[in-house]
Amino acid sequence: MAKPLTLPDILKKKQRGEKLVMLTAYDYSFARWLDEAGIDLILVGDSLGMVVQGHATTHRVTMEQMIYHVEAVVRGVRRAFVVADMPFLSYQVSEEEAIRNAGRLIQAGAKAVKLEGGQEILPLVRRLVDLGIPVMGHLGLMPQRVQAVGGYRTQAVDATSREQLLRDARALEEAGIFSLVLEKVHPEAARAVTGSLQIPTIGIGSGPHCDGQVLVLHDMLGLYPDFRPPFVRVYLDGGRLVREAVEAYIRDVRQGTYPPSSDA
C-alpha cells in the first residue's frame, strides 16, 4: 500500500512539475473509491450543502455537519491528503472561535483546513499556521460570498482585479498557506498567479495553467441534477445509470423476478 501523502510531498509535486489532482468527497464509500484510484487530495467541501443537502448555496452548512462528513471520509482514506472546508461563519466571527473550529476539524481527522479570502484573513492564517494547523487558501470566486459578488461570474478579468488577486495570493503564501485554490479565475490571471508562487495552485474553472485541478465529485460523475458548471467535464453519466438501475429493480420486484426463488 502506498504511504500517505504529506505536505512536503504536495510541495515537491510542484517542484517536479507534476499535476496535483483533487476531488470532493462527503462519505466513506466514495472516499474509499477515490483513495484506491490514487487521488492526491480529497476536499470535504461545504459544497455538500448543495450536492448532498439540496440547498441553493453553501451558507447553511454547520460545523457539526462538516465534522460528521470529515469523520466519514477519513475512515475511507489510507493515502490521500484530506482537506476540510471551514463553513460560513465558522471563522469570520472571531479569531478565538476560528481557531477552535479549525482544531475541531483536525481532531475529526482532516490534515488541513481551507479558508476563503485574501488580505482580511491573513492574521488568522498566520495564527493557525503558527499553531500547527495547515491552511489551504481559496481566491477568485468564493462561494461563501457569491451573493455579494452577483453570482457565479469569472473573476480577475481586468487589470485592476488581476493585480489584487496577485497581491492576495502572494500575501497568503507569505502568511503560510501550503496551496491555493483558484476558482473561476480568468486563465491568464491563474497563469500569472501560478508562476509567481512557490506553493501549488489548484484550479477549478480557471483554465489549464494551475499546478492541479479540483472538481466536485457529483459534477464530474453526472450525479448532481440541478446545476452543471460549463467548465466541468462529465466523466460518467451517473444520474442516468442510477435511474436505469432503479427502474430495473422496480420492474423486477413488480414482475416477481426479484428476489429469486429459494431453490433457484
For the chain, count helices (H), then strands (E). 10, 8
d(CA 142, CA 144): 6
Give the DSSP letter string of 61-78. --HHHHHHHHHHHHTT-S
- Cα of 67 vs its chain's centroid, Å: 15
Has 97 been annotated as catalytic?
no
Residue 213: phi, psi to the nearest 5? -140, 150
**Residue 79 contacts residue 4 (beta carbons within 8 Å):** yes
- The strand pair at 212-215 and 81-85 is best described as unpaired
Residues 205, 229 contacting (CB under 8 angstroms): yes
Selecting among 183, 188, 244, 247, the annotated active-site residue is 183
Active site amino acids: 183
